[in-house]
Structure 1
């Protein structure tokens, strides 16, 4: 264990929740409602249950290994070096896609509040990545402190919005013109997986955690359960304020409109602040862990050695800068829907693989791993078929 370890339960939980909720509800709500309609809440529930099962597998494997690295580490320990190397590259691509999604969402909400020229959303997206990369370069202490503040702030605002909406319950507000059936809920469950990937970042922060062997099995399910509750509450409460159809039409800034409907300009400002906190903390958490994944893989010769370079404080600054640069490019050229779905496919495949490793190694609760493996595989297949226009 690193002598620099300083992430306790609150900081670790905040890093995981920040990685999930930041992109989860602000970036995906409109996308999920578009494909699942009134069953969007079911999509978040199904996705959350698969994530919960996978969190169990991640914790069991990471504790057994006693090292950071996540699925990459698990595969290497089984002597699958080539698969491990390709999996690491795929994961880094997936995380870079999520940073782009978070930045895209940050730019959309901030520009919607500030007004300005057409280039402002992209400009603010770029600025958010640059600033948060700078925070990461300062080191773990600064990054974790920001995470704790941001996470508690956004949870308070999102919970207030959800409660206000639910107090005005009208089931008709959940419907959209072309209401999907149950298959839409399953497609939506696949789509939301980018919203749940944040918990696995903890597997890469193992050496940064205090008493990780005891902490990890507690903090992973706690963070996932927090995300499930928030997602379901907001997916039911927000449509009560503006209607599901409006959320789909304004999906890039939908919750800001819901906030305005709830509390006028005050609500609009509060939700915009929550969006800024959420996306900023998600960028921060994802950059923090992804750069450390790249450092770990590079130190073992499975990636270019440049990713293993660190500064005097041990921060993998080259990885932070390279990942940030690619994310900036994707945020400028990408569209929110395709970025979300592409990232979700990546993480579904990884989730299925992690659960399969647990089954093969016979550790933890095998029935949970089987549920996670089958659920992730099915969701990945359906989402990929949907992306290809087959369903």
Structure 2
């Protein structure tokens, strides 16, 4: 980002857009399946962990007077080797998140056309290819567009939520499913944590904020609080409209089902347009930010130098292509639940590390950061235990990839760079 700096409103909008952009459209059905009538509590627990993490991110950015997130923070405390390995895992988390957004985009748009099961995967591939091309042209960071469209997304989501809340029928929260014990809300919080990950992308843009020492902590704090409220209202309201069973059975397009039930074809079209713009902009923003992160890491020789090479538009060419290719492949072969779970575990791990750094570096109210680190750890462990029972291959694969990164990354870099 360059040119005019972002004020509080722009920063708040970008943070909200980064979270809501693909979050609630992707995870609503997943969380209702996991936590049932306690889905709202899962959003609250995950949101509180994100709120604490936002405090740690902003205070560490202020302390070091630079952006860069976990990678920069670890390098500042002379854990350069761990910083390099964590950056690889974090990039993997963003790639998984991008594939979730593309997957969700494909299913929402394909639902309108009622075509075969092949169309959502093709549309996911197409949206990634198009936006990779947009990024390579040097116009990927459309922050002003995001600021404008975020209010449209919120209007649609709040409209659905209010429609359902006015109907108020608590029996819908367990309609067609077995009631869940309250502790499933804790597991659910870990499962859908990726729905809150977007705010920390602003830590990469620290130098582009107006008066960042005040703007960053205030804007991110109120952005996370706003998103917590929105997610809770949408989780309760949309379930009131269509019932829990319908959201679980149609988890890839949960909000479209609610929109159609509320306002017929008009509701379906409105929600589909909102979902397409939200997930599309989330793909675009995540692709842009991840490519810049890869470029920054490569410049510090923690990734192959190939990813620091820019095209004539000053865009990291191979980074964009690599991210787009892998995320498209995952969107084509993956399932929504497994992709969301894997991404959530990575972000819980990363946020836990940042909270721990913040505690050890004695930032303001550091006990809050310690609580955040513990919360991230507990949610991650709970999620891993459950997923080992349900989708063991995805979790084992993620563990093996992460272990291989920590073990073999230094040797690989020596041979390539």
When the two structures are superposed, what TM-score results if normalisation uses the length of structure 2? 0.89
Q: Are 1:303 and 2:303 counterparts?
A: yes
Which whole-Å CA distance do the structure 1 matches of 2:15 and 2:126 have between them? Answer: 23
Please state how far the C-alpha of 1:8 moved relative to its aligned partner: 3.4
Please state how far the C-alpha of 1:141 moved relative to its aligned partner: 7.9
Q: Deviations for 1:2-32, whole angstroms, at most 9, x for unmatched residues?
A: 8646433333333322221122111111110
> Paired residue for 2:352?
352
When the two structures are superposed, what TM-score results if normalisation uses the length of structure 1? 0.95
> Paired residue for 1:328?
328
Which whole-Å CA distance do the structure 2 matches of 1:155 and 1:273 have between them? Answer: 13
> Paired residue for 1:227?
227
Q: Which region of structure 1 is more displaced relative to structure 2, 42-51 or 289-298?
A: 289-298
Within a 5 Å distance, the mapping from 1:62-211 to structure 2 comes to 62-139=61-138, 143-176=142-175, 177-211=177-211
Q: Which region of structure 1 is more displaced relative to structure 2, 221-230 or 70-79?
A: 221-230
Give the secondary-structure state (helix, strand or coil) at the position aligned to 1:388. helix
Residue ranges of structure 1 left out of the alignment (5+ in a row): none
Within a 5 Å distance, the mapping from 1:3-82 to structure 2 comes to 4=3, 6-82=5-81
Q: What value does the CA root-mean-square deviation take over the aligned residues?
A: 1.8
TM-aligned CA distance change 1:10 to 1:128, over 3 Å: farther
Within a 5 Å distance, the mapping from 1:248-263 to structure 2 comes to 248-263=248-263
Give the secondary-structure state (helix, strand or coil) at the position aligned to 2:183. helix
TM-aligned CA distance change 1:288 to 1:223, over 3 Å: farther
Count residues in correspondence: 390
> Paired residue for 2:364?
364
Q: Deviations for 1:280-311, whole angstroms, at most 9, x for unmatched residues?
A: 12112211211111111111111111222234
Give the secondary-structure state (helix, strand or coil) at the position aligned to 1:310. coil
Please say if residues 43 and 186 of structure 1, whose CA atoms lie closer than 8 Å, have aligned partners that are also in contact. Answer: yes
> Paired residue for 2:397?
none
TM-aligned CA distance change 1:214 to 1:3, over 3 Å: same
Which whole-Å CA distance do the structure 2 matches of 1:335 and 1:390 have between them? Answer: 13
Which whole-Å CA distance do the structure 1 matches of 2:213 and 2:196 have between them? Answer: 22
Please say if residues 150 and 281 of structure 1, whose CA atoms lie closer than 8 Å, have aligned partners that are also in contact. Answer: no
Please state how far the C-alpha of 1:371 moved relative to its aligned partner: 1.7
TM-aligned CA distance change 1:244 to 1:18, over 3 Å: same
Within a 5 Å distance, the mapping from 1:374-389 to structure 2 comes to 374-389=374-389
Which whole-Å CA distance do the structure 2 matches of 1:190 and 1:56 have between them? Answer: 19
Which whole-Å CA distance do the structure 2 matches of 1:92 and 1:62 have between them? Answer: 19
Please say if residues 7 and 144 of structure 1, whose CA atoms lie closer than 8 Å, have aligned partners that are also in contact. Answer: no
Please state how far the C-alpha of 1:312 moved relative to its aligned partner: 4.8
Which whole-Å CA distance do the structure 2 matches of 1:179 and 1:324 have between them? Answer: 40
TM-aligned CA distance change 1:255 to 1:123, over 3 Å: same
Please state how far the C-alpha of 1:55 moved relative to its aligned partner: 0.3
Which whole-Å CA distance do the structure 1 matches of 2:2 and 2:241 have between them? Answer: 50
Please say if residues 11 and 147 of structure 1, whose CA atoms lie closer than 8 Å, have aligned partners that are also in contact. Answer: no
Q: Deviations for 1:306-346, whole angstroms, at most 9, x for unmatched residues?
A: 22223455433332222111111110010000000010000
Please say if residues 103 and 125 of structure 1, whose CA atoms lie closer than 8 Å, have aligned partners that are also in contact. Answer: yes
TM-aligned CA distance change 1:337 to 1:166, over 3 Å: same
